[in-house]
């Protein structure tokens, strides 16, 4: 007997209220999750409709009391059908309950007051405005100068964008309003729109760009739907290519979703889309309230907008006839959700595109191994853009071996060369960025004399140093005592690497007391908007040097930066997970892309203890293919994604013993089935081990991994684990899954 769990009213608040019905024998073979069914309801047995959320062979209640479904209709054009199918796929692939999966794809409905949208309009004519601008410049009224400049270009600006992204205070705006320079216009409209910016602005694509755009548009017109990967260096004009294709798709009456990493969704990027498409565009970001997000989704459903731009959750915009999905900076880690279901936007977008009959375009200067691997297998169509669109030249990159500096007696964080170049930039009034690469830093141990890094003999990832000096592998749990001297060269200079942005700042201020320095890291960006404030201050040339972590290498355009110094390029290389080299290559390539973007030629200095490592060598040479080949060989050898697949099973509990015992028992049960061959020949369970961050807020974290070539083997193992969890409930313990994790635990 088959039973269907049915929801009558599909919305966030009603998800828990499902009703179970019997599937009549005649419908057993045709019924599917997502189908619209009719069934008798309530005492009067009135016929009503609902959607199938789940099919099961286990009745929740006494099956004799259940009623039967009357009819089934599969209508794949319905938005609800697509959403439920998508949620179902996410649940099956990543592991979660159906309710959690649905909650991820459905907007929360909240009744909220409609906000007043304000915009700012210029009141002066151009000549008067320029005179005013000159006066502000003379008086060093930077904020007013900045706003006026923008107003001269745009005439009308969205109030919220001005305060949030341009870092202009309401007091400044009021003052300028009193001087009759501008006027604040109030309009009652939906939130987060172009706010009066008119559409139509466009550039003429160059030959390389046009070739790609035409190719994809041709496919589209012929009804061919595919996934495309545009591998184009930073500044090669990918965004212009996207916009050209979006234009064509929107003209056919279809809708488009554009995913951009949150951190890259700057004022400038949003503005480019508004200028091209006007009020047809809306943006989402994670700081929107649930109500604001709901508004945007409602507008999409009503057909008032055709292009939605936002981070990964924008994927769930309820468009009813989606023609195209674009994922910019496709390699970014933020496309993987940290909550259950831990979905990846790239994979989910492929499924969504399939449901709609839409195309998918991925773009990146440093494609993920996954995407490039698919392109190599001809599953994706690959395009390249290897010249900068605005004739800017690529920066000169120099790699400095810190071991040599040490031999020469320089123990500071700065090589002689970097110091000299910084001095030169200060004297020329150009800007420098210093990037401290601490990404994924987990206390690895290395030798300052020979660059040797201590690795796990079983997993080929770096060991992490723990309190008391123990070295631990966070994949398999291998541990050993600390080294007193380097096993390679016997130097005593082996130990954990310690360096923070604060230390860098102190050192810079000491070297160049006359320079003005900004620092951007987790500490200085805790306050709301502080991130944008620091970036826009630096973009406005209010400081000579910007020091920061990976936050500074993404997204933003800095026209006056002509020097990028990468300190401790090795740090991310030694994070204890298999993606360390990929992340390092991406970060270094992105960092290099920050220098010299507009007219002024740029220079990049990469300081490292391991100049010979392929991630560093290839980033310096801007050689993606070279990197891909070496990295892919490593992944093949070790069976890491995308050569194979990997499932993390994570247990969290306040009671450490509880977490350990439970996870061990689960692992043993799976292991014995694996040994018996229940999951095919190549499944392998690794661990259990303590997580890299073994305890967060007094919650202990233990985990194990399962690897296999074929993903269906892992979803099978995940299903068994879920069954085990249901059969052996354990209080105070949470077990979660992460399919093909992109970050360490
Ligand atoms: P990407 O998205 O690849 O980083 P963008 O689309 O942002 O590149 O382009 C980089 C810069 O070059 C932008 O300022 C953009 O306006 C400009 N640009 C791109 N294509 C053209 C073109 N065909 N003609 C003139 N300027 C262009
Ligand atoms: Zn050594
Ligand atoms: Zn190991």
Domains and CATH numbers, the chain: 2-105 (3.40.1440.60), 116-188 (no CATH), 207-389 (3.40.50.300), 392-441+498-636 (3.40.50.300), 645-739 (3.30.70.600)
pLDDT at 581 over 80: yes
Q: What does the pLDDT read at residue 473? A: 81
Q: What does the pLDDT read at residue 159? A: 82
- Please answer whether residues 145 and 136 qualify as being in contact, where contact means their C-beta atoms are separated by less than 8 angstroms: yes
For the stretch 304-335, pLDDT in tens is 999 999 999 999 999 999 999 999 999 999 99
The Cα–Cα gap between 544 and 560 comes to: 10
Is the pLDDT higher at 628 or at 199? 628
Give residue for tokens 């030959």. Answer: 207
Q: Is 233 in the pocket of ligand 1 (CB under 6 A)?
A: no
Q: Is 209 in the pocket of ligand 1 (CB under 6 A)?
A: yes
Q: Give the pLDDT band (50/70/90) at residue 556.
A: low
Which stretches within 182-264 are classed as H helix? 207-221, 238-251
Q: Is 269 in the pocket of ligand 1 (CB under 6 A)?
A: no
Q: Give the mutation target among 389, 393, 590, 599 for probing the ligand 1 site: most ligand atoms within 8 A of CB.
A: 389
Give residue 477 CA to ligand 3 midpoint distance, Å: 6
The Cα–Cα gap between 356 and 298 comes to: 19
Q: Is 211 helix (H, G, I), strand (E, B) or coil?
A: helix
The Cα–Cα gap between 652 and 664 comes to: 13
**Tokens matching residue 75:** 């209508």
CA within 13 Å, CB half, 465: 17
The Cα–Cα gap between 324 and 322 comes to: 6
Ligand nearest, relative to CA of residue 491: 2
CA 62 to chain centre: 46
DSSP code for 486: -
Q: Give the pLDDT band (50/70/90) at residue 189.
A: very low
Give residue 234 CA to ligand 1 midpoint distance, Å: 9
Which stretches within 303-361 are classed as H helix? 345-356
**Tokens matching residue 583:** 């992340």
The Cα–Cα gap between 486 and 692 comes to: 23
Is the pLDDT higher at 682 or at 521? 682
Q: What does the pLDDT read at residue 394? A: 77
Over the chain, what is the mean pLDDT? Answer: 87
Least confident stretch, 414-418, 546-550, 607-611: 546-550
Residue (of 539, 521, 540, 542) closest to 531 by Cα position: 521
Task: For residue 702, give Cα distances in angstroms to 459, 655, 666.
Answer: 17, 11, 12
Kindly list the strands in the beta sheet with 381-385, ordered across the sheet, starting from the edge strand earlier in the chain.
Answer: 281-283, 307-310, 255-259, 322-328, 359-364, 227-232, 381-385
**Torsion angle, alpha carbons of 157, 310, 263, 290, to 10:** 90
Residue (of 87, 90, 373, 101) closest to 227 by Cα position: 373
Residues with CB under 5 A from ligand 2 (ion): 447, 449-450, 452, 486, 488-489, 491
Is the pLDDT higher at 589 or at 214? 214
Residue (of 218, 389, 196, 192) closest to 291 by Cα position: 192
Average pLDDT over residues 669-688: 91
Q: Is 359 in the pocket of ligand 1 (CB under 6 A)?
A: no
Nearest atom of ligand 1 to the alpha carbon of 205: 23
pTM as predicted = 0.82
For the stretch 73-123, pLDDT in tens is 888 788 888 999 999 999 999 999 888 999 899 877 665 555 566 788 888
The Cα–Cα gap between 341 and 364 comes to: 25
The Cα–Cα gap between 397 and 374 comes to: 30
Q: Is 590 in the pocket of ligand 1 (CB under 6 A)?
A: no
Which stretches within 289-440 are classed as H helix? 290-302, 345-356, 369-376, 402-407, 416-428
Report the 10 Å Cβ neighbour count for 373.
Answer: 18
The Cα–Cα gap between 340 and 104 comes to: 9
Q: Is 324 helix (H, G, I), strand (E, B) or coil?
A: strand
For the stretch 39-70, pLDDT in tens is 999 888 999 999 999 999 888 877 778 899 99
Report phi then psi at 706, rounded to 5.
-125, 135
**Tokens matching residue 493:** 């200079």
What DSSP string describes 65-121? GPPBP-EEE--TTSHHHHHHHHHHHHHHHH---HHHHHHHHSPPP---PPPEEEEEE
Q: Is 186 helix (H, G, I), strand (E, B) or coil?
A: strand
- Please answer whether residues 281 and 228 qualify as being in contact, where contact means their C-beta atoms are separated by less than 8 angstroms: no
For the stretch 161-181, pLDDT in tens is 777 667 788 888 999 998 889
Regarding beta strands 396-401 and 603-608, do their DSSP bridges make them parallel or antiparallel, or are they unpaired? parallel
**565 strand-pairing partners:** 434, 605
Residues with CB under 5 A from ligand 3 (ion): 456, 458-459, 473, 475-476, 478
**Tokens matching residue 162:** 């001005």
**Tokens matching residue 230:** 């545009």
The Cα–Cα gap between 698 and 146 comes to: 47
Q: What does the pLDDT read at residue 355? A: 94
The Cα–Cα gap between 272 and 407 comes to: 50
pLDDT at 596 over 80: no
Q: Give the mutation target among 207, 212, 237, 385 for probing the ligand 1 site: most ligand atoms within 8 A of CB.
A: 237
The Cα–Cα gap between 169 and 56 comes to: 57
Q: Is 208 in the pocket of ligand 1 (CB under 6 A)?
A: no
CA 216 to chain centre: 25
pLDDT at 15 over 80: no
Average pLDDT over residues 521-536: 75
- Please answer whether residues 413 and 504 qualify as being in contact, where contact means their C-beta atoms are separated by less than 8 angstroms: yes
Ligand nearest, relative to CA of residue 365: 1
**Tokens matching residue 429:** 């009034």
Q: Is 191 in the pocket of ligand 1 (CB under 6 A)?
A: no
H or E element, residue 361: strand 359-364
Q: Is 7 helix (H, G, I), strand (E, B) or coil?
A: strand
**Torsion angle, alpha carbons of 504, 510, 516, 518, to 10:** 20
Report phi then psi at 502, rounded to 5.
-65, -45
Report phi then psi at 362, rounded to 5.
-105, 140
């Amino acid at each position: 007997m088959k039973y269907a769990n049915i929801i009558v009213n599909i919305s966030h608040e009603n998800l828990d209220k499902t009703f179970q019905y019997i599937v009549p024998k005649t419908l057993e073979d045709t019924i599917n999750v997502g189908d619209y069914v009719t069934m008798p309801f309530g005492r009067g047995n009135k016929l009503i409709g609902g959607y199938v959320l789940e099919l099961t062979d286990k009745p929740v209640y006494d099956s004799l009391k259940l009623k039967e479904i009357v009819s089934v209709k599969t209508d794949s054009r319905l938005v609800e059908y697509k959403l439920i199918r998508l949620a179902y796929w996410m649940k099956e692939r990543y592991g979660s309950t159906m309710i959690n999966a649905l909650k991820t794809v459905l907007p929360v409905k909240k009744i909220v007051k409609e906000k007043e949208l304000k915009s700012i309009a210029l009141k002066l004519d151009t000549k008067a405005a320029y005179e005013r601008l000159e006066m502000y410049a003379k008086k060093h009224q930077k904020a007013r100068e900045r706003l006026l400049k923008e107003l001269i270009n745009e005439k009308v600006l969205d109030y919220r964008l001005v305060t949030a992204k341009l870092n202009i205070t309401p007091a400044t705006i009021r003052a300028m309003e009193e001087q009759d320079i501008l006027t604040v216009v109030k309009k009652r409209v939906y939130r987060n729109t172009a706010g009066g910016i008119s559409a139509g602005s466009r550039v003429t694509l160059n030959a390389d760009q046009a070739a790609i755009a035409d190719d994809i548009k041709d496919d589209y017109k012929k009804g061919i739907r595919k996934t495309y990967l545009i591998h184009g260096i930073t500044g090669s004009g990918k965004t212009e290519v996207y916009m050209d294709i979006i234009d064509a798709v929107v003209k056919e009456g279809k809708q488009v979703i554009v995913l951009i990493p949150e951190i890259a969704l700057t004022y400038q990027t949003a503005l480019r889309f508004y200028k091209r498409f006007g009020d047809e565009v809306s943006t989402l970001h994670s700081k929107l309230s649930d109500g604001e997000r709901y508004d945007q989704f409602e507008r999409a459903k009503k057909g008032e907008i055709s292009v939605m731009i936002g981070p990964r959750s924008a994927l769930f915009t309820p468009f009813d006839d989606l023609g195209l999905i674009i994922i910019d900076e496709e390699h970014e880690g933020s496309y993987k959700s940290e909550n259950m279901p831990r979905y990846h936007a790239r994979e989910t977008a492929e499924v969504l595109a399939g449901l709609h009959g839409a195309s998918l375009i991925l773009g990146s200067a440093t494609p993920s191994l996954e995407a490039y691997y698919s392109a190599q297998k001809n599953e994706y169509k690959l395009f390249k853009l290897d010249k900068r669109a605005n004739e800017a030249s690529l920066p000169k990159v120099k790699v400095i071996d810190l071991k040599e500096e040490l031999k020469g007696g320089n123990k500071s964080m700065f090589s002689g060369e970097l110091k000299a170049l910084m001095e030169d930039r200060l004297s020329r009034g150009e800007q420098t960025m210093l990037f401290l690469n601490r990404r994924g830093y987990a206390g690895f141990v290395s030798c300052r004399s020979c660059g040797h890094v201590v690795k796990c003999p079983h997993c080929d990832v770096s060991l992490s140093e723990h309190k008391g000096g123990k070295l631990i592998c966070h994949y398999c749990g291998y541990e050993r005592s600390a080294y007193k001297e380097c096993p390679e060269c016997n130097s005593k200079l082996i130990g954990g690497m310690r360096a923070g942005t604060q230390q860098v700042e102190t050192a810079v201020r000491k070297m160049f007391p006359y320079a003005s320095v900004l620092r951007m890291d987790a500490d200085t960006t805790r306050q709301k908007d502080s991130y944008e404030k620091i970036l826009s201050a630096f973009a406005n040339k209010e400081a000579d040097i910007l020091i920061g972590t990976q936050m500074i290498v993404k997204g933003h355009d800095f026209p006056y930066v002509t020097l990028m110094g990468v300190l401790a390029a090795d740090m991310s290389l030694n994070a204890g997970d298999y993606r360390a080299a990929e992340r390092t290559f991406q970060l270094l390539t992105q960092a290099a892309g920050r220098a010299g973007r507009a007219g002024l030629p740029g220079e990049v200095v990469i300081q490292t203890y391991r100049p010979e490592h392929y991630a560093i060598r290839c980033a310096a040479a801007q050689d993606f293919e070279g990197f891909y080949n070496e990295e892919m060989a490593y992944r093949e050898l070790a069976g890491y994604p995308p050569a194979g697949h990997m499932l993390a099973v994570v247990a969290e509990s306040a009671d450490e013993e509880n977490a350990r015992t439970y996870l061990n028992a689960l692992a043993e049960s799976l292991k014995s089935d694996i040994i018996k061959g229940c999951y095919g020949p190549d499944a392998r369970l690794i661990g259990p081990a303590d997580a890299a961050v073994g305890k967060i807020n007094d919650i202990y974290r233990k985990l194990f991994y399962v690897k296999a070539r074929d993903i269906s083997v892992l979803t099978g193992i995940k299903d068994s684990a879920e069954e085990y969890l249901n059969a052996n409930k354990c209080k105070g313990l949470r077990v979660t899954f992460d399919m093909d994790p992109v970050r360490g635990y």
